[in-house]
Amino acid sequence: MTAPHTPPRDPHEAPPAVLAEKREGILVITLNRPEAKNAATEEMALLMADILDDFAADDALAVAVLTGAGGTFCSGMDLKDFVKGRRPAVEGRGFLALTERPAPKPIIAAVEGYAVAGGFETMLACDLVVAAENAKFGLPEVKRGLVAAAGGLVALPNRAPRAIAMEMALTGDMFDAQYVRAAGLVNRVVPAGSALEAALELAAGIAANGPLAVRVTKRVIVEQAGWPADEAYARQQEIVGPVFESADAKEGATAFAEKRAPRWTGR
């Protein structure tokens, strides 16, 4: 019996506005409207929701890299969609289905060109950021009579000094990669054109680690901000305790003793 196959895509059919590709434990998500500098639409938000759900459920995937096609990360909300009454958000999940609900696994933003408005806020929702040295960042909403309500006013003050958040949000100006890195918003600045490559290298280092440990580590870092100080270690123990009893923990210790690469099972 021959295996069923998917018919080839009609070459005249427009490609999806968000692409997803699996690469050895890494999911590469590409915002794919280069003709509009990857301005986000309602369609893109719904596609992102499905992709992120699949990412969370797939045990073979450890980390995702989010990037944009055509040399731009994301220029924010598509204003043509906005005036038609459509929003690039999913209820309870936020802009591009990401800004209000963190993914359970790490996501790395690979930024070339512009990450502005909702694009900048989407970057803030990622856990790590690799940026090209000529990338530009900003929250220009006030220049359009809008407000940065997808994370610019909530997430940014928790990620950067108050003065930085105020300047970015109130002026609406553009800032370079060196500025946002100095503010603690970017992990690595790399030559133009190499952000995705550098992000994939970073992702590979994460994907090589124990998957249970990686997920739990992210969970604690995300959740601890809301814990009372006198309960922090007890709450942490509730989450991390099972990891120390896992098969992966035993495998990690055994592999170290035997001087070999661990063989993770995720259990």
Distance CA 243, CA 247 (A): 8
3-state helix, strand, coil in the chain (%, to 5): 45, 20, 40
Q: How many residues does the chain have?
A: 267
Distances in Å between the alpha carbon of 4 and those of 1, 7, 184? Answer: 9, 9, 49
User: Tokens representing 134?
Assistant: 């000529």
Distance CA 32, CA 17 (A): 5
Per annotation, catalytic residue among 21, 43, 112, 141: 141
Non-local (6+) Cβ contacts of 149 within 8 A are 141
User: 246 in helix, strand or coil?
Assistant: coil
Per annotation, catalytic residue among 121, 167, 223, 258: 121
- Asked if residues 142 and 163 have their Cβ atoms less than 8 Å apart, the reply is no
Catalytic, 121? Answer: yes
User: Tokens representing 125?
Assistant: 């929702």
> Which amino acid type is present at position 157?
P
> Which amino acid type is present at position 174?
M
Catalytic, 245? Answer: no
- Catalytic positions are 121, 141
